[in-house]
Structures are given as structure tokens and as C-alpha cells.
């Protein structure tokens, strides 16, 4: 009998939809939510979104509306969850004064989880980004100062830096990373001007200090200031400061609004879209590398529709997984 090979379009075999999962780190069972749009292409970007103090992965998923942005722009999202303190509140270990004895290494946890997701779901190691609200925004800074380059760029919202925190190389030389900072002028929880005398959270730095650091670290010389239209007539005006340089790819953005300690969604802008636009702007184009891989790819394994490894069979749909991250659907008819 003559065999007929039907070959379908190349599609990645990446889990899609929303999953609540666990990751063991330093002997601790850590929770996270992973979301991937349907038909997410191989080497797609990965974005982490971190909750604030006392929040959860599910809270920031609902609050940020980032899944909808992922659906529109083809990237995966991870919502990690911090560990719980003695009061049962989830937190990221950024050096709060009231948690002096915490030995949780959240920097290594998040970097390890990012590497795991990149490999497991065939996601881009060049375009992995991190954003977070409040305590989650504070994790942005610690990860950036760590200098591991696991994350390409950061977008802290309503966050700050605690100079007496859990990392020793704050403001280390040679740091050059794209940064997008969003903060409310009327934030009464994390003051825009910082607070060197805070007796609960601990002394923390001003937004302008942090912006100046990242502008200087990236050697940026040009500035464009713009004001968003007051679309909802709330008069909570959002102003953008965008720092760049003619000869450099990195940029630093600052959005200030006249709301309080929140995600920055006062109606004049969609902050999650602005965050993704920034990340997309500073992303690395890997299309040339991917094309080269397609030309010299090798089959790793063959699986069925349930994801179980399978020998070649006739008259059933099989997925051929290649070493470049692509997947080919085939049905062999006899």
C-alpha cells in the first residue's frame, strides 16, 4: 500500500490556557500561575507579574488584566506568589524592617523559575521581562541589581528600594538595563519623595533618585515629556518622561499620575498595555536565529494529542517535536 504523508503548518506544542502550578525551590513548595495564549509561537516572550504585600498570584492576575494583553500580543505570563509571613500575608523579601529574620531568597527563586519556564515551554531567553505592583515592584529593583541578565527589562509600579535591604550590591557599577517606572504623586503608602525615617517598612528612596540612577546607568541623554489627554475628566493627569539616546537601544520611562498607591489605571491610559509596549520596544529580535534553526532542525520526539511519546502510527494525528522548538503536525495515511 502506498503511504501518503499529510503535513500541517508548523505550530509549537506549548501548553495554553491558565494553570496553577508549583515549583520547589530551596526545599520550599512555591506557587505560581502560568498563562499562555492558544497557538503561542515558539520562542515567544515571557512576562512575570508580581503581586504586592499581602496579595497573591490570583489577585494580581485579576487586577492587572495582563492575560488580555498577552492574547493580543503573543506572549506568556507567569504570576508568581511570595511566601507567607507570621501574619499569613504573602510577601517578597526585599528587606522590610518588620521582617528582619526572613531568609527567603526570592531573587534566586524568580530567576530559577524563569529559566525553568523558558526551557519547559520553549520561551525566549532573550525576551523575558518583569513587572510588579508595590512589593512586587520592589522585586523589580532587586532582580535588576542582581545582574544575572535572566530578565531583559523591568517595569516597577508603585515600588521603591530599601537601601538596608537583602542585597549587598545595590547601585553596583556597570548596570545597564531598560527601566519603566510608574508612580502616583499622591501615593500615601510609598511616598514619591521617599522616606528616610519610615519606622515600619524601613527607610526607602525617592522615585527621582531611582530614575536618575537608571538614566545615568544607561548613559541616556535625550528626554521627551508628554501629557496624556484627560479622557475621563478625573484631572488625575498622567505625564510621561521618556529618556533615550541616539546611539543606544536602552530607554528609561517614567509615568507619573495624580492617583494614589495603585496600578496607575485612572482611565487616561491602559497601564498594562503601556508596560507591554515598553517591553516590546526594547525586546531583542530573534527571528533571524529562529529561521536558521528551522533549516537544520532535528526531531527530538514524537507525541500524540495527549502529549505522550508515541511511535509513528498510521491514520492518527501525531506531533513531531524538533530541537529548534517547532512542532509539525502529521497524519500518515495508508
Q: What pLDDT digit, counting tens, does each position of 146-200 carry?
A: 878 899 999 999 999 998 766 555 666 567 899 999 999 999 999 999 999 999 9
Clarify whether residues 114 and 146 are in a common domain.
yes
Clarify whether residues 308 and 266 are in a common domain.
no
CATH of the domain at 84: 3.40.50.1820
Helix (H, G, I), strand (E, B) or coil at 166: coil
Clarify whether residues 152 and 112 are in a common domain.
yes
pLDDT bucket at 88, cuts 50 / 70 / 90: very high
Residue that finishes a domain, picked among 244, 261, 284: 284
Residue 26 in grid coordinates: 530551596
Clarify whether residues 279 and 307 are in a common domain.
no
If one counts the domains in the chain, the total is 2
Greatest Cα pair distance in the chain: 83
Clarify whether residues 114 and 145 are in a common domain.
yes
Clarify whether residues 203 and 326 are in a common domain.
no
pLDDT by residue (tens digit) across 75-87?
A: 999 999 999 999 9
Q: If you average pLDDT over every residue of the chain, what do you get?
A: 85
Clarify whether residues 211 and 109 are in a common domain.
yes
Clarify whether residues 313 and 262 are in a common domain.
no
Clarify whether residues 237 and 303 are in a common domain.
no
Paired strand residues for 19: 34
State the Cα–Cα distance between residues 22 and 239, nearest whole angstrom: 39
- Rounded to two decimals, the pTM is 0.80
Kindly give, in sequence order, each residue whose CB lies less than 8 Å from that of residue 54, ignoring residues fewer than 6 positions away.
89, 90, 91
Clarify whether residues 303 and 280 are in a common domain.
no
Q: Is the pLDDT of residue 230 over 90?
A: no
What pLDDT does residue 14 have?
43
Give one DSSP letter per residue of 216-280, joined into a string. Answer: HHTT--EEEEEE---TTS-----EEEEEE-TT-S--EEEEEESS-SS-S-SSS--HHHHHHHHHH
Residue 45 belongs to domain spanning: 4-284
Give the residue from 112, 105, 142, 106 showing the smallest Cα distance to 128: 112
Clarify whether residues 218 and 314 are in a common domain.
no
Amino acid at each position: 500500500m502506498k503511504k501518503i504523508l499529510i503535513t500541517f503548518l508548523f505550530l509549537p506544542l506549548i501548553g495554553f490556557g491558565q494553570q496553577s502550578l508549583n515549583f520547589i525551590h530551596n526545599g520550599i513548595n512555591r506557587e505560581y500561575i502560568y498563562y499562555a495564549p492558544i497557538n503561542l509561537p515558539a520562542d515567544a516572550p515571557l512576562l512575570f507579574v508580581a503581586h504586592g504585600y499581602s496579595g497573591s498570584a490570583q489577585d494580581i492576575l485579576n487586577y492587572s488584566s495582563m492575560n488580555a494583553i498577552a492574547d493580543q500580543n503573543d506572549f506568556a505570563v507567569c504570576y508568581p506568589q511570595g511566601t507567607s509571613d507570621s501574619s499569613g500575608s504573602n510577601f517578597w523579601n526585599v528587606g522590610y524592617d518588620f521582617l528582619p529574620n526572613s531568609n527567603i531568597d526570592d531573587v534566586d527563586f524568580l530567576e530559577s523559575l524563569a529559566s525553568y519556564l523558558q526551557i519547559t515551554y520553549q520561551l525566549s531567553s532573550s525576551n523575558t521581562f518583569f513587572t510588579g505592583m508595590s512589593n512586587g515592584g520592589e522585586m523589580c529593583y532587586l532582580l535588576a541589581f542582581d545582574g544575572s541578565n535572566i530578565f531583559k527589562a523591568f517595569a516597577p509600579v508603585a515600588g521603591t528600594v530599601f537601601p538596608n535591604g537583602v542585597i549587598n550590591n545595590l547601585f553596583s557599577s556597570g548596570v545597564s538595563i531598560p527601566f519603566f517606572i510608574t508612580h502616583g504623586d499622591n501615593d500615601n503608602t510609598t511616598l514619591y519623595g521617599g522616606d528616610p525615617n519610615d519606622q515600619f517598612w524601613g527607610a526607602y528612596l525617592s522615585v527621582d533618585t531611582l530614575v536618575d540612577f537608571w538614566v545615568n546607568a544607561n548613559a541616556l541623554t535625550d528626554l521627551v515629556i508628554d501629557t496624556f489627554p484627560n479622557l475621563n475628566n478625573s484631572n488625575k493627569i498622567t505625564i510621561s518622561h521618556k529618556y533615550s539616546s541616539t546611539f543606544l537601544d536602552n530607554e528609561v520611562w517614567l509615568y507619573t499620575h495624580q492617583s494614589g498607591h495603585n496600578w496607575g489605571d485612572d482611565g487616561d491610559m491602559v497601564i498594562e498595555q503601556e508596560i507591554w509596549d515598553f517591553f516590546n520596544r526594547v525586546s531583542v529580535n530573534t527571528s533571524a536565529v529562529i529561521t536558521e534553526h528551522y533549516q537544520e532542525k532535528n526531531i527530538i520526539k514524537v507525541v500524540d494529542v495527549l502529549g505522550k511519546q508515541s511511535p509513528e502510527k498510521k491514520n492518527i494525528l501525531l506531533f513531531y517535536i524538533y530541537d529548534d522548538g517547532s512542532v509539525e503536525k502529521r497524519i500518515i495515511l495508508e
